[in-house]
Amino acid sequence: MCRNFNCLDELYRTEFGAVYQCNLKNCYWLEFAGEWYSLNVSDFLFFKKEVDSIDIVSMLVDSSRHSDVVVLQSYRARRCFVLNAVEILQLKDLLSAARFMIELNSVIQECLSYSPSTSVK
Amino acid sequence: MKDLLRLKTSLKEEIENILNEQIKVEAHSSSIYLAMSSWCDDQGLDYSAQFFEKQAAEERVHMMKFFKYVNDRGGRAISPEIKNIPKDFESFRAVFEMALEQEMHVTQQINNIADKCMKSKDFVTFQFLQWFLEEQIEEEYVARRILEIFDVVGEEGTGRWEIDKHVQKVSYSGE
Ligand SMILES: [Fe+2]
Ligand SMILES: [Fe+2]
């Protein structure tokens, strides 16, 4: 999927990455650790749930080597994520802030379309 | 900015999550009833074994109703993982007590979902729940009625055999 910057709306940006909405392809772009990943709405929500379900405390407590990183697969992102605990926290923050903006946009649209006399663009 | 979220789904995240929880509860009910059926069969309680087999099938139908609803509204239904199903039960009576407790738990869960739907003004899902709320009247009635038969008949002598035979006759007319 090509990135067309003309139709990207930035949903949220942190110092570690950003999430954009593509109004042309109806998908989201996640920019994280120098890579770009495109996810449709359903995959994005699912991916966020996956990230949220990672138990960071048990990662930190477990001293075995394989628990230092988590490998996350998203079939549609066509890349896999290898993340350490700090990166997971950064990603969790970014995704939940972006998720909030998505929800906020829905609420705003709903409010705007509530009155029949107000037209919404 | 386009509302991609609502183009995809009509379900709010919170509602989708509790509906997925309910899918789990119904699947869990189905498995518990199947375990009860097996136990009753093993004890020679034929009619009760059949009764619970039928209940297990019904709970699966309930599960699928929720499952399809979530997907039909644009959400993503999650196939439930079922754990902690007992294999052994204390007694004939204890099985039916557990069944009643399970049904009361389900009623409470559906009440909670209805409450959340009201609060988030999701009257479509609220309406969808009405069928389940009504169904719970019957589910609780039947389980409670059977427990009362234990008291009426008594388990001594041929009591257990009598009770087992009567289980299939308990039904709810709603009139
Ligand atoms: Fe049920
Ligand atoms: Fe039930």
How do residues B120-152 score in pLDDT, each as one tens digit? Answer: 999 999 999 999 999 999 999 999 999 999 999
Q: Has residue B1 been placed in a domain?
A: no
Q: Are B75 and B16 in contact (CB under 8 A)?
A: yes
Q: Has residue B29 been placed in a domain?
A: yes
CATH of residue B49's domain is 1.20.1260.10
Q: Which ligand is nearest to the CA of B59?
A: 1
Annotated binding site of B for Fe cation: 26, 59, 62, 103, 136
Span B46-87, pLDDT tens digits: 999 999 999 999 999 999 999 999 999 999 999 999 999 999
Q: Has residue A120 been placed in a domain?
A: no
> In sequence order, what are the residues at sequence separation of 6 or more whose Cβ sits closer than 8 angstroms to the Cβ of residue B131?
B65
Burial (0-12, 13-18, 19+ Cβ within 10 Å), A75: exposed
A9 in contact with chain B, both atoms CB, cutoff 8 A = yes
Segment B15-43 shows an average pLDDT of: 98
Question: Residue A118 has what pLDDT?
Answer: 52
Run of H or E residues at A18: strand A17-22
A9, A46, A102 member nearest B5 (Cβ):
A102
Cα-to-centroid distance, A62 and ligand 2 (Å): 42
A9, A41, A46 member nearest B5 (Cβ):
A41
Q: Has residue B4 been placed in a domain?
A: no
Q: Has residue B101 been placed in a domain?
A: yes
Domain that holds residue B150: 12-167
Span B90-122, pLDDT tens digits: 999 999 999 999 999 999 999 999 999 999 999
Segment B23-36 shows an average pLDDT of: 98
What is the per-residue DSSP string for A40-95?
Answer: EHHHHHHHHHHHHT--HHHHHH--SGGGGEEEEEETTTTEEEEEEHHHHHHHHHHH
pTM exceeding 0.90:
no
Low-confidence ranges of chain A (pLDDT < 50): none
Task: State the total domains in chain B.
Answer: 1
Cα-to-centroid distance, B59 and ligand 1 (Å): 5
Rounded distance between C-alpha atoms, residue B5 and residue A58, angstroms: 33
Question: Residue A72 has what pLDDT?
Answer: 86
A23 in contact with chain B, both atoms CB, cutoff 8 A = yes
pLDDT, chain B, mean: 96
Instruction: Name chain A contacts of B5, Cβ cutoff 8 Å.
Output: 41, 102-103, 105-106
Domain that holds residue A30: 2-110
Question: Residue A120 has what pLDDT?
Answer: 52
How would you classify the pairing of strands A35-40 and A27-32? antiparallel
Listed residue (A12, A13, A44) closest to A26, CA to CA: A44
Question: Residue B175 has what pLDDT?
Answer: 80
Annotated binding site of B: 26, 59, 62, 103, 136
A10 in contact with chain B, both atoms CB, cutoff 8 A = no
Task: State the total domains in chain A.
Answer: 1
Listed residue (B18, B44, B48, B23) closest to B33, CA to CA: B48
pLDDT above 90 for B35: yes
Rounded distance between C-alpha atoms, residue A45 and residue A99, angstroms: 8
Q: Has residue A119 been placed in a domain?
A: no
> In sequence order, what are the residues at sequence separation of 6 or more whose Cβ sits closer than 8 angstroms to the Cβ of residue B25?
B105, B106, B109
Question: Smallest CA–CA separation between B20 and chain A, in Å?
Answer: 13
Q: Which of A42, A53, A111 to mutate to test the interface with B (most CBs of B within 10 A)?
A: A42
Q: Has residue A117 been placed in a domain?
A: no
Q: What ipTM score was computed for the predicted complex, to two decimals?
A: 0.83
Do residue B13 and residue A45 have CB atoms under 8 angstroms apart? yes
A45 in contact with chain B, both atoms CB, cutoff 8 A = yes
Do residue B6 and residue A21 have CB atoms under 8 angstroms apart? no
Q: Has residue A23 been placed in a domain?
A: yes
Question: Residue A101 has what pLDDT?
Answer: 97
Question: Residue A78 has what pLDDT?
Answer: 73
